[in-house]
């Protein structure tokens, strides 16, 4: 299909574009210019509860808070063709039908652009000289998606046009909705009232919520029954109603309820008309469900629709959304020598961090929204990428997560966002889990200085009767490792550690057993060197916190355990050229020269070095050289090498993946920043940055076709060097990669690092980088930091000036809120 970019389009590509699109930094958008991207390239709408996923052809779905239990619109994953189903429009002139996002009608467009921006997506298209400008977003503080659709007649003659909207309701519980047809085909209920279409399935019984879809003008018809609109044997591409040119005014009784508005109108020469569609979610308290005469109480829906019933109101809401984002992003802005670095740090990486914060690993085009709630491990790590932007929400999140912890420090592996209660549906006994709570809480305190959070009373196991201070939760986390040591004095791995596919106590021979929830052996032997490194890395912070709080005895007790762990790593965790990965249930090493496959793993190299092990005796450098030699390749650093070629029941899921994919020799992107940070700790700024550029989406944009997933966000995995398709990414958006890369590049490469007492300035950059400027908001003050590197070093602050005065050292103090300070930094 031939897509031409119109000369009339106001926006000119500021940078060289790829065949699929380009970054528009000025508008903070990624502009897609061909609807047939190598995979659907999506965006997230919504910031706080009401969310839509939207692809570059307007596919996707909407939910409130919980993608499993409050799904508003239906979506069929892994559909044929890919990404079929969404919130669609059909424009019809004469017999010709097209869609502003190309799909579903798929009629060739004369122009097409999808502009994914921060919290909105805009589709600009043209056919038969009818120009369409569609903007979809979720206004701040609103439980609704708003779609502003403008049509312009760019000819000299009047045009008679029709417009059909379409969405398909989900019967709320997304899992039940795609399995329980014997019931669901009889429960669906709708109501049409003027231009408002209500979805009220199960409202008559236990639900206190309904959804609606309205448009701010009179309609000439509607449909609410899918079969009546599409025809039983049609897909979304050619609905019978649209082909016929007339809506059926159908009312659904069970089967599959939809919402479609039908509009018929004339556009004069040069004329533009605008409509505003609102897809909203309403909750009515028990006493307010019904009107006096027993009807649906529509007050809240009508109010919500009225809030966006004019162009001015929508424009205001869009401006407020833009301000909201600008304000968030302003917390850390770099102006550096490389546009790609700037756009990652300033826009896209921060944006992705907010998305992972909101969704954990629940809903993407790879996560179905029904499988996983909020992960304990995942959500803690996601906080690293957002504490500087949304400290209050980070605080709330920490307390929610901590409430799912058990008194012995272990944790539910996930909780459901709607209820905030932990459950074991996706496993438990991951022995790394407790430690991530220490890391996230410490990151929060360093950012905010809010030590008071430690005194908050937080339940264990969501049971208010078992509440204790957050500080007691951190102690429990720390002690969970202390109380679960194996034969070498290293931490027992439990079901698994961060690498949840290294299942050393599972021994599964049954293909119907999940590696994530099965543990067939007691687990008293298998140990993790990665957890050992984590324990020291985060445990040192715990000790510093204890000292800061004056808990000297606890600090000393903890320090003794850290020392013992360091000794255990020295004795049993070093393999000669790198750190060992683990000991299996038979006490045999993994990630060792002694192994034929899986000889070296990435995780312990990153974590032991972040823990400081081997920094003073050369082992850190040796391990990093091994990583460079054996694990790193053009598209990133693979997780392990050589990959396993056969199933090992004693290792579990890791050995189920074909070589080079996922946890078996894939570039598991989340773990790469650990190596970047480790490289900065040995002063190797060139390598740290080199690794950064191998993964950072803006630097990989040139590989767009190969990479496949969105060129503006990180993916969980890029196929590794032993894979059949090296360089191909999967599982974009919801991955700890976002937060960790942000943390690595901002705090260790660019080196602006919050501490209890101020901002530490300690860049570790490529020697050729001449300098950069960073504006950092920290505890209410603004730091305008300018780093110069005339001598071409990688690391080392030679002198620092604050507001023109030379200061000693490289720690910037906490300044008064709302004050502004100029900082000059000379490296050398």
Of the candidates 211, 213, 222, 225, the residue with the CA atom closest to the CA atom of residue 256: 225
**Token reading at 368:** 């179905």
Contact 653/515 with Cβ under 8 angstroms? Answer: yes
> Which CB atom, from 133 or from 603, has the smaller least distance to ligand NOJ?
603
Report strand pairing: 715-718 vs 667-668.
antiparallel
Q: Is the dihedral of CA 139, 144, 145, 146 positive or negative?
A: negative
- Per rule CB under 6 A, is residue 672 in the interface with ligand BGC? no
- By CB under 6 A, residue 50 contacts ligand NOJ: no
| Of 177, 497, 500, 762, catalytic | 500
Q: What is the DSSP string of 492-541?
A: B-BTBSSSTT--TTT----TTS-TTT---S--SS-EEHHHHHHHHHHHHH
Provide CB contacts within 8 A for 756, sequence distance 6+: 445, 446, 449, 544, 545, 548
Q: Which is nearer to ligand BGC, 495 or 753 (CB)?
A: 495
- In the DSSP assignment, the letter for residue 164 is E
User: Which one of 499, 626, 664, 747 is in contact with ligand NOJ (CB under 6 A)?
Assistant: 499
700 binding ligand BGC? (CB under 6 A): no
Task: Tell me the closest approach of the beta carbon of residue 538 to ligand NOJ, in angstroms.
Answer: 15
C-alpha to C-alpha distance for 664 and 652, rounded to whole angstroms: 11
Which of 685, 81, 8, 777 is closest to 447 using CA atoms? Answer: 777
| Binding partner selected for residue 595 from ligand NOJ, ligand BGC, none, CB under the kind-specific 5 to 8 Å limit | none
Min. distance of Cβ 360 from ligand NOJ in angstroms?
8
Provide, rounded to whole angstroms, the least separation between the CB of residue 663 and ligand BGC: 5
How many residues touch ligand BGC under the rule CB under 6 A: the total is 6
Query: Looking at beta carbons only, is 709 or 794 nearer to ligand NOJ?
Result: 709
**What letter would DSSP give residue 383?**
G
Which residues from 309-348 bind ligand NOJ, rule CB under 6 A? none
Closer to ligand BGC at the Cβ: 650 or 653? 653
Q: Is 500 in the site for ligand NOJ (CB under 6 A)?
A: yes
- Size of the residue set binding ligand NOJ (CB under 6 A): 9
Is residue 145 a contact residue for ligand BGC (CB under 6 A)?
A: no
Q: Does 663 participate in binding ligand BGC (rule CB under 6 A)?
A: yes
Smaller CB separation from ligand BGC, 159 or 662: 662
Q: Which of residues 501-530 bind ligand NOJ (CB under 6 A)?
A: 501
d(CA 266, CA 462): 59
- Kindly tell me which of 519 and 663 has the beta carbon lying closer to ligand NOJ: 663
CB of 495 to ligand BGC, least distance (A): 11
Q: What backbone torsions phi and psi does residue 98 show, to the nearest 5 degrees?
A: -145, 170
Q: Which does 687 bind (CB under 5 to 8 A by kind): ligand NOJ, ligand BGC, none?
A: none
Residue 718 binds ligand NOJ, judged by CB under 6 A: no
Residue 385: strand, helix, or coil:
helix
Residue 159 contact among ligand BGC, ligand NOJ, none, beta carbon within 5 to 8 Å by kind: none
Assigned token pair, 237:
């591409």
Q: Among residues 501 and 774, whose Cβ is nearest to ligand BGC?
A: 501
Residues 658-687 that bind ligand NOJ (CB under 6 A): 663
- Interaxial angle between packed helices 470-482 and 433-448, expressed in degrees from 0 to 180 and rounded to the nearest 10: 140
Minimum distance from CB of 430 to ligand BGC (Å)? 10
SS3 content of the chain, % helix, strand, coil (to 5): 30, 30, 40
d(CA 523, CA 547): 34
Our finding on whether 603 is near ligand BGC (CB under 6 A) is no
Q: Which is nearer to ligand BGC, 118 or 501 (CB)?
A: 501
Query: What interhelical angle do 349-359 and 391-402 show, nearest 10?
Result: 30
Nearest to ligand BGC of 425, 615 (CB atom): 425
Cα–Cα dist 119/43, whole Å: 8
Q: Which does 714 bind (CB under 5 to 8 A by kind): ligand NOJ, ligand BGC, none?
A: none
> CB atoms < 10 A from the CB of 648, how many?
16
Near ligand BGC by CB under 6 A: residue from 151, 374, 501, 676: 501
DSSP string, 70-137: SEEE---TT-SSSS--BSEEEEEETTEEE-TBSBTT-PPPSEEEEEE-SSEEEEEEEETTEEEEEEEE
Binding at 737: pick from ligand BGC, ligand NOJ, none (beta carbon under 5-8 Å per type): none
| Between 64 and 498, CB nearer to ligand NOJ | 498
106 binds, among ligand BGC, ligand NOJ, none (CB under 5 to 8 A by kind): none
- Rg of the chain over Cα atoms, rounded to whole angstroms, equals 28
Q: Is 498 in the site for ligand NOJ (CB under 6 A)?
A: yes
Cα separation, 370 vs 382, whole angstroms: 20
Residue 48 designated active-site: no
Residues 372 to 401: which contact ligand NOJ by CB under 6 A? Answer: 375, 377-378
User: 91, 85, 72, 87: which is closest to 262 by C-alpha?
Assistant: 91
Residue closer to ligand NOJ (CB basis): 6 or 517: 517
Tokens representing residue 717 in the block:
């995995």
Chain center to CA of 351: 9
**Cβ at position 718, least distance to ligand BGC in Å:** 14
CB of 378 to ligand NOJ, least distance (A): 5
Give the Cα separation of 432 and 409 in Å (integer): 11
Report the residue number, 32 or 501, with the smaller CB distance to ligand BGC.
501
The listed partner (ligand NOJ, ligand BGC, none) that binds 378, CB under 5 to 8 Å by sort, is ligand NOJ
Give me the helix-helix angle, 529-548 and 470-482, nearest 10°: 140
Instruction: Name the β-bridge partners of 125.
Output: 112, 132
Q: Which of 500, 603, 701, 762 binds ligand BGC (CB under 6 A)?
A: 500
CB of 377: closest distance to ligand NOJ in angstroms? Answer: 5
Give the number of other Cβ atoms within 10 Å of residue 26's Cβ: 8
Which of 87/662 has CB closer to ligand NOJ? 662
Rounded (10°) CA dihedral 658, 664, 670, 671: -160
The interface mask with ligand BGC, positions 504-543, x = CB under 6 A, is ------------x---------------------------
In the list ligand NOJ, ligand BGC, none, the entry touching 498 (Cβ below 5 to 8 angstroms by class) is ligand NOJ
| Binding segment toward ligand NOJ, per CB under 6 A, in 28-36, 279-287, 336-344, 496-504 | 496-504
Q: Do 791 and 768 contact (CB within 8 A), yes or no?
A: no
Instruction: Choose among ligand NOJ, ligand BGC, none what residue 499 binds, the Cβ cut-off being 5 to 8 Å by kind.
Output: ligand NOJ
Partner that binds at residue 516, options ligand BGC, ligand NOJ, none, CB closer than 5 to 8 Å by kind: ligand BGC
Tokens found for residue 764:
């570790």
Candidate residues 116, 388, 662, 700; the one interacting with ligand BGC per rule CB under 6 A: 662
Nearest-approach distance from CB 416 to ligand NOJ, in angstroms: 16
Q: Residue 569: left (phi > 0), alpha (psi -120 to 50), or beta?
A: alpha
Q: In 3D, which of 361, 446, 398, 463 has the Cα closest to residue 736?
A: 361
Q: Which residues pair with 12 in a beta bridge?
A: none
Which one of 4-12, 288-296, 371-379, 643-651 is the stretch in contact with ligand NOJ (CB under 6 A)?
371-379
Segment lying near ligand NOJ (by CB under 6 A), choices 286-294, 317-325, 494-502, 545-553: 494-502
| Among 491, 494, 575, 581, residue whose Cα is nearest residue 536 | 491
Smallest CA-to-CA distance from 667 within 723, 718, 708 is with: 718
> Which DSSP letter does residue 703 get?
G
Query: Residue 601 Cβ, how far from ligand NOJ at the closest point, in Å?
Result: 12
Residue ranges binding ligand NOJ (CB under 6 A): 361, 375, 377-378, 498-501, 663
Positions marked active-site: 500
Residue ranges binding ligand BGC (CB under 6 A): 500-501, 516, 653, 662-663
């Amino acid at each position: 299909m031939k897509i031409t970019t119109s000369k009339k389009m106001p926006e000119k590509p500021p940078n060289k574009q790829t065949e699929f699109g380009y970054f528009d930094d000025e508008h903070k958008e990624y502009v897609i210019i061909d609807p047939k991207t190598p995979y659907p390239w999506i965006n997230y709408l919504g910031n706080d509860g009401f969310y839509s996923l939207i692809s570059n052809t307007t596919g996707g779905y909407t939910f409130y808070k919980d993608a499993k239990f409050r799904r508003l619109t239906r979506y069929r994953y892994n559909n044929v063709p890919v990404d079929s189903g969404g919130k669609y429009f059909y424009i019809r002139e004469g017999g010709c039908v097209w869609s502003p996002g190309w799909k579903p009608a798929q009629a060739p467009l004369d122009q097409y652009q999808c502009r994914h921006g921060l919290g909105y997506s805009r589709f600009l298209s043209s056919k038969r000289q009818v120009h369409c400008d569609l903007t979809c977003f979720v206004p701040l503080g609103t439980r609704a998606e708003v779609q502003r659709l403008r049509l312009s007649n760019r000819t000299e003659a009047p045009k008679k046009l029709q417009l059909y909207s379409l969405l398909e309701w989900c019967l709320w519980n997304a899992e039940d909705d795609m399995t329980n047809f014997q019931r669901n085909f009889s429960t669906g209920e709708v109501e049409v009232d003027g231009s408002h279409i209500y979805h009220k399935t199960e409202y008559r019984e236990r639900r206190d919520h309904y959804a609606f879809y309205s448009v701010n003008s009179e309609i000439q018809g509607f449909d609410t029954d899918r079969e009546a609109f599409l025809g039983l044997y049609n897909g979304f591409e050619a609905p019978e109603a649209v082909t016929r040119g007339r809506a059926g005014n159908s009312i659904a009784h069970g089967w599959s309820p939809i919402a479609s508005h039908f509009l018929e109108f004339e556009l004069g020469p040069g004329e533009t008309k605008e409509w505003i569609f609102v897809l909203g979610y309403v909750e009515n308290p028990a006493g307010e469900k019904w009107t006096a005469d027993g009807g649906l109480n529509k007050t809240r829906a009508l109010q919500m629709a009225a809030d966006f019933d004019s162009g001015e109101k929508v424009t205001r809401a869009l401006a407020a959304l833009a301000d909201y984002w600008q304000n968030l992003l302003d917390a850390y802005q770099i102006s550096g020598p490389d546009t790609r670095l700037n756009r990652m740090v300033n826009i896209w990486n921060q944006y992705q961090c907010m998305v992972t914060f909101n969704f954990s690993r629940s809903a993407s085009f790879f996560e179905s929204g029904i499988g996983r709630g909020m992960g304990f491990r995942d959500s803690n790590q996601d906080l690293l990428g957002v504490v500087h932007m949304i400290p209050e929400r980070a605080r709330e999140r920490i307390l929610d997560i901590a409430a799912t912890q058990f008194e012995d420090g272990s944790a539910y592996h996930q909780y459901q966002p709607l209820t905030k209660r932990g459950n074991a549906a996706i496993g438990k006994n991951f022995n790394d889990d407790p430690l991530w709570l220490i890391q996230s809480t410490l990151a929060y305190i360093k950012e905010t200085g809010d030590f008071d959070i430690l005194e908050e009373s937080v339940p264990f196991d969501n049971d208010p009767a078992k509440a204790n201070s957050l500080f007691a939760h951190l102690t429990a986390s720390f002690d969970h490792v202390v109380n679960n040591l194996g034969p070498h004095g290293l931490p027992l791995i439990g079901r698994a550690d961060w690498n949840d596919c290294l299942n050393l106590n599972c021994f599964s021979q049954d293909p119907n057993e999940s590696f994530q929830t099965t543990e067939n052996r007691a687990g008293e032997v298998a140990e993790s060197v990665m957890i050992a490194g984590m324990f020291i890395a985060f445990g040192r912070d715990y000790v510093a916190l204890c000292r800061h709080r004056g808990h000297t005895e606890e600090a000393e007790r903890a320090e003794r355990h850290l020392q013992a762990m360091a000794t255990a790593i020295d004795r049993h965790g070093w393999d000669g050229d790198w750190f060992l990965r683990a000991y299996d249930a038979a006490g045999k090493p993994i990630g060792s020269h002694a192994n034929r496959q899986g000889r070296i793993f990435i995780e312990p190299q990153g974590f032991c070095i972040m823990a400081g092990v081997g920094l003073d005796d050369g082992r850190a450098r040796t391990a990093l050289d091994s990583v460079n030699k054996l694990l790193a390749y053009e598209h990133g650093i693979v997780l392990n090498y050589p990959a396993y070629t056969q199933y090992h029941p004693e290792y579990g899921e890791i050995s189920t993946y074909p070589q080079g994919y996922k946890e078996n020799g894939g570039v598991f992107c989340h773990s790469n920043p650990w190596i970047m940070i480790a490289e900065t700790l040995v002063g190797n700024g060139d390598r740290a940055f080199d690794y950064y550029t191998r993964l950072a989406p803006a630097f990989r944009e040139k590989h767009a076709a190969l990479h496949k997933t969105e060129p503006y966000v990180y993916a969980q995995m890029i196929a590794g060097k032993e894979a059949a398709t090296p360089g191909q990414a999967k599982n974009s958006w919801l991955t700890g990669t976002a937060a960790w890369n942000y943390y690595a590049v901002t705090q260790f490469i660019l080196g602006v690092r919050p501490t209890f007492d101020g901002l530490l300035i300690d860049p570790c950059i490529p020697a050729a980088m001449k300098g950069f400027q960073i504006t950092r908001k920290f505890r209410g003050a603004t730091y305008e930091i300018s780093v110069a590197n005339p001598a071409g070093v990688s690391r080392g602050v030679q002198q620092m000036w604050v507001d023109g005065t030379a200061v000693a050292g490289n720690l910037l103090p906490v300044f008064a809120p709302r004050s502004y300070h100029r900082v000059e930094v000379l490296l050398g």
